[in-house]
């Protein structure tokens, strides 16, 4: 794996996983070596394979030579001007100006995210409705908060229905390492 | 020896988008699926999408040599098709081929000559309309074979769709492109509106027999990006079974969904101009994109009174450069509903093109964009005893019908035309307006195998060979022409006709050309029937037919007396033969699609 890819993985994992962050802190301080991977894989919650027709992966000529995170950023920029938007300060503009731009960007980002990830709620239940958690529930899919006492079943109220990606089909990038960090080429009109 | 096919593959080679759908022939339970097509979406970036934009970008050598357009199956391509090419059509139009399909049936240009991009400077690379179609099909075939190495395309049952209004020569050119792309000769051409009906049939299964009864008439209205296609299908009964029969198809209409989005974006661009905002070409495309969404909202159900349209700033100063305005719902209604679907009487006729001395050779877009008027005249022509034909059911196809107001307007207009004021029953399933044609085509492959219902129809048109009448030549005036019917309307696949007529003398050793006409209207003409005159609307001239008669040694005269014989193959391919009346010799007539002399 390229260093950039690794850096991104470490970055996101440190941000989202407290236990990992503690270890990373020690590594950074030179006090700890990371254990070899255990049987439980550090992958995100097992993603159900998309119900794809004859899911035969197309043979790719080259190994992708940059992080998929960058490919995603480039896609969002290309189709929805997402980086332009993030990089611009909002201070100078009126609400109406911001709204006008955001409507376009939001619509286009949404269509990219839908196409690549098809994000759906984890629970098809209205937020605010009562929800009962069975014993042996999947802790990766449901997080219990508040006065958690004793063992499940718990009775509670759905606060957030959660999200999951029902597929992950990023574009394949096949450029050379020289341009791996380019998110949007400079444009020159002749 | 070809292997037994594993799949039925349906290909919708569209004016702006192409789709490939397939279904297993080995698994009774199998559903039709769409192929994910890997394509270049940006330099060095490949994404698999379920449709392939029908655009071709002819890249400069340096770009393609850098490898940034490489595909999993192709390195350094000079011609890039798909999403990247679609984007290039906006910023590099001189190197991008668009709407190749619309050129395929344009008789005033040679469709095997590299003429596209139309009007591009001579030093730039060009493609012929046939070659461009081949490029799109090449890509689809390669994507198929990459995904299904176990099922080479040559061995599969392939169904390719064409507009019902394509005449025999446009169909022949489509077939030629397909064969160059390695699609097997056993390929079937299916009319798009029929494919849309097959998609509906595949959804319903045997239940369709409960939805339709004998003598029902289904109007299929298919509005693509650049063309509009009408077809009438009658439900008949044979041996106690319901049967579907295609009874009429419309003229080739070059007006479609893109025209509507474009009309709206011209209107908005004008409003921007009044605000002293000038849009560059790139912004105009993004405006077009925004207008399509605005159209769907403003013509949808529970439409808001207005919809904001913004065009983002071009440079990285995005918000600062953004311009926006509110598009009023009533304006959108006026532009689209009243412009393209005006309420009109059943006797309305579309405006004809004005006959001006100088006509551009470019695509012959419709002079009148009012689709309802074209529809009125189509239904009137195919009616009986001065009463237009009345469809009892309506099936819509094409992305424009995502707007509910358009669906409702069309139903209301048809209701107004019917004797009892009743609207036809709408059969359309709204969720599949973009892909029904490819899906239906794949399903038709099953039908061919006897596993599903078939629509019968034969040829959509009658065909005529033009013969100059003998007689005194009048200086300066062409000899009067007669049109001899060689293919009757509705001639069935797998049949042959020997045209009963007098003999024609053909000169040996040099190419003989016949003018060739078709009619979607004259349904009762029998082979051999000779027309001395006809209405301007009745017969359309298509590409001439040509044959060179080889001299046979035992025949000493300069000419051979012949009769015509026509053959419609099982695959729907029309063949015309000149058969010698004095020997066993026969010569096949081929379409000549060369540029016509301006005489």
Q: What is the CATH number of the domain that holds B293?
A: 3.90.640.10
Q: Give pLDDT tens digits for B257-280.
A: 888 888 888 899 888 888 888 887
How far is the C-alpha of B223 from the C-alpha of B315, rounded, in Å? Answer: 36
CB contact under 8 A, A171 and B46: yes
Q: What pLDDT does B556 receive?
A: 65
- Residue in A53, A97, A170 nearest the CB of B319: A97
Tokens at B564, concatenated: 């015509």
Nearest CA in chain A to B144: A58
Q: Average pLDDT, whole number, for chain B?
A: 86
Chain B residues with CB-CB distance to A99 below 8 A? 308
Q: What pLDDT does B7 receive?
A: 94
The mean pLDDT of B464-484, rounded to a whole number, is: 73
Interface membership of B480 toward A (CB under 8 Å) = no
Residue B412 covered by a domain: no
Q: Which of B23, B32, B44 to substitute to test the interface with A, most A CBs within 10 Å?
A: B44
Q: Does pLDDT of B315 surpass 80?
A: no
How far is the C-alpha of B500 from the C-alpha of B496, rounded, in Å? Answer: 12
The mean pLDDT of A53-62, rounded to a whole number, is: 44
Q: Give pLDDT tens digits for B224-237.
A: 888 899 999 999 88
Looking at B340, B357, B381, which one is the last position of a domain?
Answer: B340
Chain A residues with CB-CB distance to B317 below 8 A? 88
Q: Does pLDDT of A188 surpass 90?
A: no
Nearest CA in chain A to B73: A61
Q: Does pLDDT of A69 surpass 90?
A: yes
Q: What pLDDT does B534 receive?
A: 84
Q: Does pLDDT of B354 surpass 60?
A: no
Q: Does pLDDT of B435 surpass 50?
A: yes
Q: Which of A103, A104, A112 to substitute to test the interface with B, most B CBs within 10 Å?
A: A104
Q: Does pLDDT of A177 surpass 90?
A: no
Q: Which of B37, B140, B307, B312 to substitute to test the interface with A, most A CBs within 10 Å?
A: B312
Q: What pLDDT does A17 receive?
A: 64
Q: Does pLDDT of B533 surpass 80?
A: yes
Residue B107 covered by a domain: yes
Q: What pLDDT does A51 receive?
A: 45
Q: Does pLDDT of B133 surpass 60?
A: yes
Q: What pLDDT does A33 receive?
A: 44
Q: Which of B87, B304, B318, B323 to substitute to test the interface with A, most A CBs within 10 Å?
A: B318
In terms of pLDDT, which residue wins out, B61 or B109?
Answer: B61
How far is the C-alpha of B160 from the C-alpha of B174, rounded, in Å? Answer: 9
Q: Does pLDDT of B539 surpass 70?
A: yes
Q: Does pLDDT of B512 surpass 90?
A: no
Q: Does pLDDT of B208 surpass 90?
A: no
Read off the pLDDT band of B353 (50, 70, 90).
low
- Residue in A78, A81, A185 nearest the CB of B318: A81
CB contact under 8 A, B72 and A60: yes
Q: What pLDDT does A36 receive?
A: 40
How far is the C-alpha of B368 from the C-alpha of B348, rounded, in Å? Answer: 12
Read off the pLDDT band of B52 (50, 70, 90).
very high
Q: Give pLDDT tens digits for A104-120.
A: 899 999 999 999 999 99
B126 and B16 within one domain: yes
Q: What pLDDT does A58 receive?
A: 43
CB contact under 8 A, B317 and A179: no
CB contact under 8 A, B310 and A81: no
CB contact under 8 A, A59 and B45: no
Q: What pLDDT does B33 receive?
A: 93
How far is the C-alpha of B494 from the C-alpha of A99, rounded, in Å? Answer: 63
- Residue in B38, B44, B308 nearest the CB of A175: B44
Residue B19 covered by a domain: yes
B41 and B169 within one domain: yes
Can you say whether residue A162 is alpha, beta or left, with left for phi > 0 and alpha for psi between -120 and 50 degrees?
left
Which range has the worst mean pLDDT, B71-75, B82-86, B123-127, B493-497?
Answer: B493-497
The mean pLDDT of B372-384, rounded to a whole number, is: 90
Which range has the worst mean pLDDT, B325-334, B396-405, B446-455?
Answer: B446-455
Q: Domain range spanning residue B284?
A: 257-340
CB pairs under 8 A between A and B: 95
Read off the pLDDT band of A55 (50, 70, 90).
very low
B185 and B73 within one domain: yes
Residue B87 covered by a domain: yes
Q: Give pLDDT tens digits for B160-186.
A: 999 988 888 899 999 999 999 999 999
CB contact under 8 A, A101 and B290: no
Looking at B324, B340, B356, which one is the last position of a domain?
Answer: B340
Q: What pLDDT does B383 receive?
A: 84
Read off the pLDDT band of B476 (50, 70, 90).
low
Q: What pLDDT does B135 receive?
A: 96
Q: What pLDDT does A28 receive?
A: 59
Interface membership of B526 toward A (CB under 8 Å) = no
Residue B171 covered by a domain: yes
Q: What pLDDT does B123 receive?
A: 87
Residue B316 covered by a domain: yes
- Per the CB < 8 A criterion, the answer to whether B110 and B594 are in contact is yes
Read off the pLDDT band of B456 (50, 70, 90).
confident
Q: Does pLDDT of B241 surpass 80?
A: no
Q: Which residues contact B420 (CB under 8 A, 6 or more apart)?
A: none
How far is the C-alpha of B578 from the C-alpha of A185, rounded, in Å? Answer: 61
Q: Which residues contact B567 (CB under 8 A, 6 or more apart)?
A: B495, B496, B497, B574, B575, B576, B577
Q: What pLDDT does B129 receive?
A: 93
Q: Give pLDDT tens digits for A74-110.
A: 999 999 999 999 999 888 888 888 988 898 899 999 9
How far is the C-alpha of B95 from the C-alpha of B117, rounded, in Å? Answer: 7
Interface pTM, i.e. ipTM: 0.71
Q: What pLDDT does A34 receive?
A: 40
Residues of A engaging B, defined by a Cβ cutoff of 8 Å: 53-54, 56, 58-61, 71, 74-75, 78, 81, 84-85, 87-88, 90, 92-93, 97-101, 103-105, 107, 115, 169-175, 179, 185
Q: What pLDDT does B159 receive?
A: 95
Read off the pLDDT band of A57 (50, 70, 90).
very low
The mean pLDDT of A8-26, rounded to a whole number, is: 60
Distance from CA of B103 to the nearest CA of A (A): 30
Residue B95 covered by a domain: yes
Interface membership of B94 toward A (CB under 8 Å) = no
- DSSP string over B5-70: P-EEEEEEE-SSEEEEEEEESS-TTPPPEEPPEEEEEETTEEEEES-EE--EEE--HHHHHTTTT-
Which range has the worst mean pLDDT, B442-456, B483-497, B545-559?
Answer: B545-559
CB contact under 8 A, A103 and B68: no
Nearest CA in chain B to A81: B318
Q: What pLDDT does A15 receive?
A: 58
B178 and B91 within one domain: yes
The mean pLDDT of B439-461, rounded to a whole number, is: 80
Which range has the worst mean pLDDT, B126-135, B349-358, B424-433, B449-458?
Answer: B349-358
Distance from CA of B85 to the nearest CA of A (A): 14
Read off the pLDDT band of B432 (50, 70, 90).
confident
Chain A residues with CB-CB distance to B49 below 8 A? 115
CB contact under 8 A, A171 and B41: yes
Residue B455 covered by a domain: no
Q: Does pLDDT of B599 surpass 50?
A: no
Nearest CA in chain A to B286: A104
Chain B residues with CB-CB distance to A93 below 8 A? 319-320
Residue spans of the domains in chain A: they are 1-38, 65-117, 120-163
Question: CA dihedral defined by B109, B111, B117, B122, rounded to 10 degrees?
Answer: -70
**Count: domains in chain B:** 3
- Residue in A71, A74, A100 nearest the CB of B322: A100
Q: Which of B45, B139, B439 to substitute to test the interface with A, most A CBs within 10 Å?
A: B45
Q: What pLDDT does B391 receive?
A: 94
Q: Which of A51, A54, A187 to substitute to test the interface with B, most B CBs within 10 Å?
A: A54
Looking at B170, B190, B210, which one is the last position of a domain?
Answer: B190
How far is the C-alpha of B242 from the C-alpha of B210, rounded, in Å? Answer: 10
CB contact under 8 A, B312 and A61: no
Q: What pLDDT does B197 receive?
A: 92
B174 and B29 within one domain: yes
Q: What pLDDT does A14 receive?
A: 62
Chain A residues with CB-CB distance to B70 below 8 A? 61, 174
Read off the pLDDT band of A166 (50, 70, 90).
very high
Nearest CA in chain A to B313: A101
Q: What pLDDT does A61 receive?
A: 46
* HEC assignment per residue over chain A: CCHHHHHHHHHHHHHHCHHHHHHHHHHHCCCCCCCCCCCCCCCCCCCCCCCCCCCCCCCCCCCCCCCHHHHHHHHHHHHHCHHHHHHCCCCCCCHHHHHHHHHHHHHHHHHHHHHHHCEEECCCCCCCCEEEECCCCCCCCCCCCCCCCCCCCEEEECCCCCEEECCCCCCEECCCHHHCCCCCCCCCCC
Nearest CA in chain A to B49: A115
Q: Average pLDDT, whole number, for chain A?
A: 76
CB contact under 8 A, B318 and A85: yes
- Residue in A54, A61, A101 nearest the CB of B312: A101
Q: What pLDDT does A29 receive?
A: 58
Residues within 8 A of A (CB atoms), B 64-83 only: 67-68, 70, 72, 75
Nearest CA in chain A to B319: A101
């Amino acid at each position: 794996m390229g260093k950039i890819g690794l850096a991104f993985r470490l970055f996101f994992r440190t941000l989202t996983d407290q236990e990992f962050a503690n270890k990373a802190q020690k590594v950074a301080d030179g006090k700890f070596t990371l254990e070899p991977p255990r049987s439980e894989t550090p992958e995100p919650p097992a993603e159900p394979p998309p119900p794809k027709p004859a899911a035969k992966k197309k043979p790719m000529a080259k190994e992708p030579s940059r992080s998929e995170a960058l490919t995603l950023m480039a896609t969002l920029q290309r189709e929805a001007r997402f980086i332009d938007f993030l990089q611009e300060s909002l201070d100078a503009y009126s609400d109406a100006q911001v709204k006008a731009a955001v409507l376009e960007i939001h619509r286009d980002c949404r269509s990219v995210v839908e196409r690549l990830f098809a994000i759906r709620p984890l629970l098809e239940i209205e937020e605010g409705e009562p929800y009962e958690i069975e014993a042996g529930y999947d802790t990766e899919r449901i997080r219990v908060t508040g006065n958690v006492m004793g063992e499940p079943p718990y009775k509670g109220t759905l606060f957030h229905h959660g999200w999951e990606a029902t597929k992950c089909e990023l574009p394949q990038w096949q450029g050379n390492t020289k341009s791996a960090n380019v998110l949007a080429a400079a444009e020159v009109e002749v | 020896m070809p292997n037994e096919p594993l799949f039925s593959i349906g290909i919708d080679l569209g004016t702006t988008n192409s789709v490939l759908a397939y279904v297993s022939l080995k698994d009774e339970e199998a559903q039709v699926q769409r192929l994910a097509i890997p394509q270049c979406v940006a330099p060095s970036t490949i994404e698999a999408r379920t449709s392939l934009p029908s655009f071709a970008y002819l890249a400069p050598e340096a770009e393609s040599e850098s490898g940034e357009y490489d595909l999993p199956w192709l390195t350094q391509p000079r011609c890039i098709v798909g999403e990247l090419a679609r984007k290039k059509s906006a910023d590099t139009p001189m190197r991008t081929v668009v709407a190749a399909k619309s050129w395929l049936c344009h008789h005033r240009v040679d469709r095997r000559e590299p003429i596209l991009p139309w009007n591009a400077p001579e030093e730039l690379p060009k493609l012929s309309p046939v070659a461009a179609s081949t490029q799109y099909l090449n890509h689809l075939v390669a994507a198929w074979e990459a995904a299904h190495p176990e099922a080479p395309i040559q061995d599969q049952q392939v169904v390719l769709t064409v507009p019902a209004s394509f005449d025999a020569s446009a169909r022949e050119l489509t077939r030629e492109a397909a064969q160059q792309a390695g699609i097997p000769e056993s390929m079937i051409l299916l009319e798009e509106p029929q494919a849309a009906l097959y998609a509906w049939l595949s959804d319903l299964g045997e239940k369709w027999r409960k939805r339709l009864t004998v003598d029902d008439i289904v109007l299929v209205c298919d509005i693509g990006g650049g063309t509009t296609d009408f077809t009438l299908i009658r439900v008949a009964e044979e041996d106690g079974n319901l049967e579907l029969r295609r009874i009429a198809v419309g003229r080739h209409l070059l007006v479609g969904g893109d025209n509507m989005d474009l009309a709206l974006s011209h209107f908005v661009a004008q409003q921007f101009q009044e605000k002293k905002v000038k849009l560059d070409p790139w912004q105009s495309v993004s405006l077009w994109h925004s207008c399509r969404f605005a159209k769907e909202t403003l013509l949808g159900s529970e439409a808001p009174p207005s919809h904001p349209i913004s065009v983002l700033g071009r440079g990285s100063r995005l918000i600062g450069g953004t311009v926006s305005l509110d598009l009023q719902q009533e304006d959108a209604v006026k532009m689209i509903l009243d412009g393209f679907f005006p309420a009109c009487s059943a006797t309305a006729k579309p405006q004809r093109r004005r006959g001006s001395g100088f006509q551009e050779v470019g695509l012959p877009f419709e002079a009148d964009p009012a689709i309802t008027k074209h529809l009125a005249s189509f239904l009137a022509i195919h009616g009986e005893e001065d009463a237009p034909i009345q469809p009892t059911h309506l099936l819509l196809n094409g992305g424009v019908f995502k707007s509910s107001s358009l669906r409702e307007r069309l139903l209301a207009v048809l209701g107004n035309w019917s004797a009892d004021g009743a609207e036809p029953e709408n059969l359309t399933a709204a969720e599949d307006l973009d892909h029904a044609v490819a899906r239906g085509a794949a399903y038709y492959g099953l039908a061919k195998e006897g596993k599903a219902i078939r629509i019968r129809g034969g040829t959509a048109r009658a065909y005529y060979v033009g013969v100059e009448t003998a007689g005194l030549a009048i200086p300066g005036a062409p000899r009067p022409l007669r049109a001899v019917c060689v293919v009757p309307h509705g001639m069935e696949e797998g049949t042959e006709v020997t045209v009963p007529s007098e003999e024609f003398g053909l000169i040996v050793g040099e190419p003989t050309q016949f003018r060739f006409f078709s009619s979607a209207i004259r349904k009762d003409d029998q082979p051999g029937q000779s027309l001395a005159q006809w209405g301007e609307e009745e017969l359309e001239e298509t590409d001439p037919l040509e044959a060179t008669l080889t001299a046979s040694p035992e025949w000493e005269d300069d000419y051979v007396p012949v009769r015509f014989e026509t053959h419609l193959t099982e695959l729907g391919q029309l063949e015309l033969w000149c058969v010698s009346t004095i020997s066993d010799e026969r010569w096949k007539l081929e379409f000549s699609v060369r540029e016509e002399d301006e005489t």
